[in-house]
Amino acid sequence: MLPTFVAAAPPPAEPPPHTGGLLTLIDGTAGLLTVAVLGIALLLFLIIKVRLQPFVALLAVSIAVGLAAGLSVTELFGTVQKSDAVSMIESGMGGILGHVAIIIGLGTMLGAILEVSGGAEVLSSRLLGLFGEKRAPLAMGMTGLIFGIPVFFDVGIFVLAPIVYAAAKRSGKSILLYAMPLLAGLSMTHAFLPPHPGPVAAAGLFNVSLGWIIVMGLVCGLPAVLAAWAYSTWIGNRLFVPVPQDMLEATEEAKAAVAADRAAHGDTTKEKPVALTTVFTIIGTPLILILAATFSSIALDESTLRSVIEFFGHPFVALTIALLLAYYLLGIRRGWTRKSLEQVSTASLKPVGNILLVVGAGGVFGAVLKGSGIADALADAFNGMGLPVIVLAYLISVVLRVAQGSATVAIVATAGIVVPLVEGGGHSQPFLALVIMAISAGSIFASHVNDGGFWIVSKYFGISERDTLKSWTVLESVLSVAGFAVAAVLSLFF
């Protein structure tokens, strides 16, 4: 199939001007485009220069754009008298969070149990033993790839960094040789696969099955991570960075503190080690169930069997099953109390609030763009560029990512702009999933000093800013370009 261009759909009629708005700058398509450009510029200014929290910035810009485009206060906020009327802000926030919040919450708790139980250490140790000392960088990459599925990027670094220190110290080689493959695996899963917030939020906005997101995430992400691993080997052999001594000392002190705490409470028993098959079972269960549900809708006719498969393969149910498995296999069966499980789960949810608010505000931004007519005006403008929608999606995401740093903000803002470009086009679920992969790929391009991940990598692995730009920034760009290239080629066939 030929690539889908924005021009494939007939240009929308010029949206009628809204009446009753607090502020209407300019009427017509040209005015709406001006409002869109100014709104995005304001968003970047507030996040980059003013250092405003992204949730607040997205919400403020959404309100400003809506008013400037001619939306009335009632359309944006509703009225006090009609309590049953849903405002545009409420529908935008609730529409996306109703899909995303449960998945992110369950995925976060699952990752926390795997982390605290020692599942990550067992996984990496076994992989190191399997691949051997010479292939330790590949083992690190596989560890990041597998363990990165259920845990956030920064959590994966905090948990797995000591293993990287130990491997680099033992070999005497550059820490980049071991850290970069690990980071590539963590970054790929964070950008391309559920239950991470970016792809999950985009799936909700595009109304795409998570099963197709998993399939296309693996198909686009795995070749990309192989390209990133190749670059990791190249830069690791050419740029020597020693193991940060302060981090080694901190790791040993933490282990000693845990041992002392257990001894103080009279706990002298050795906790049972986690089996590698247990880790794979817990991580693989939700992926298999979700994929089974997706393909049952294609391969099976309406039947009781298909309904059962789709029930267990619903992301909410599949992740709940995986979490309960983790509670039992990694917790209760190994001597954990129910109180310990509750404490670990609750503590893991504390950092999630910011992510959910940013995603929700991105949903508000998309709703305002659509409700004000700006989305249709953008579609009309992009129509004249002659580029496939998947290329536009990638380029918009890249610009937003490089400009403001946050991958999540880049994804939700880009999705809000791109969704109207594909609405009504009769596109298949696989094609829409590939558009999401293009957006996700763009969201990780060229991590630099305005990205929190840049500083985590730099400080945690003791890499200078200049060497971080040479290694981590280029690594992210390789992941981004390779992932997009695969998505763009595959889009020709859907």
Domain limits of the chain? 1-494
CA angle 77/367/318 to nearest 5° reads 110
Q: Dihedral sign, CA of 14, 18, 19, 23?
A: negative
Helix (H) or strand (E) holding 458: helix 452-460
Residue pair 485/479 in contact by the 8 Å Cβ criterion = no
What pLDDT is recorded for position 218? 96
| CA-to-CA dists, residue 184 to 178, 181, 187, angstroms | 10, 5, 5
Residue pair 210/175 in contact by the 8 Å Cβ criterion = no
Listed residue (194, 255, 275) closest to 440, CA to CA = 194
Q: Dihedral sign, CA of 460, 465, 469, 471?
A: negative
Listed residue (275, 127, 114, 101) closest to 201, CA to CA = 101
Calculate the CA 227 to chain-centre distance: 20
What pLDDT is recorded for position 270? 59
The Cα–Cα gap between 278 and 329 comes to 7
The Cα–Cα gap between 209 and 290 comes to 9
What pLDDT is recorded for position 368? 85
| CA-to-CA dists, residue 128 to 152, 177, 185, angstroms | 22, 14, 15
Residue 60: exposed, middle, or buried by beta-carbon count in 10 A (0-12, 13-18, 19+)? middle
What pLDDT is recorded for position 9? 42
Residue pair 451/406 in contact by the 8 Å Cβ criterion = yes
Residue written as token pair 């496939």: 388
Report residue 263 as tokens.
């001894």
Q: Alpha helix (H) ranges present in 148-192?
A: 153-171, 176-192
Three-class SS state of 24: strand
What pLDDT is recorded for position 86? 65
Residue written as token pair 């001619």: 70
Q: How many residues in the chain?
A: 494
0.95 surpassed by pTM: no
DSSP lists the bridge partners of residue 69 as 24
471 phi and psi, to 5 degrees?
Answer: -100, -70
pLDDT per residue of the chain (494 residues) written in tens, 0 to 9: 445 444 444 444 444 445 444 444 455 677 888 888 888 888 888 887 888 888 898 899 989 988 988 888 888 887 655 555 568 888 888 877 886 788 888 888 887 888 788 787 787 778 778 888 788 899 899 989 988 888 788 778 877 887 888 788 888 899 999 999 999 999 999 999 998 889 999 999 999 999 999 999 999 999 999 999 999 999 999 999 998 876 555 555 544 544 555 466 565 555 667 888 888 898 888 889 988 888 887 788 888 999 999 999 888 899 899 999 999 998 888 878 888 888 888 888 887 787 788 878 878 887 887 788 877 777 677 766 778 999 999 999 998 888 777 888 889 889 988 998 888 788 999 999 999 999 999 999 998 877 878 888 888 888 988 899 999 999 999 999 999 999 999 999 98
The residue type at 368: V
Residue pair 97/363 in contact by the 8 Å Cβ criterion = yes
> DSSP assignment of 309-370, as one string?
HHHHTSHHHHHHHHHHHHIIIIIGGGT--HHHHHHHHHHHTTTHHHHHHHHHHHHHHHHHHH
Interacting residues of 374 by C-beta distance below 8 A, sequence separation 6+: 32, 33, 35, 36, 65, 69, 368
Report residue 196 as tokens.
């991470």
9 phi and psi, to 5 degrees?
Answer: -95, 145
Residue 8: exposed, middle, or buried by beta-carbon count in 10 A (0-12, 13-18, 19+)? middle
Three-class SS state of 5: strand
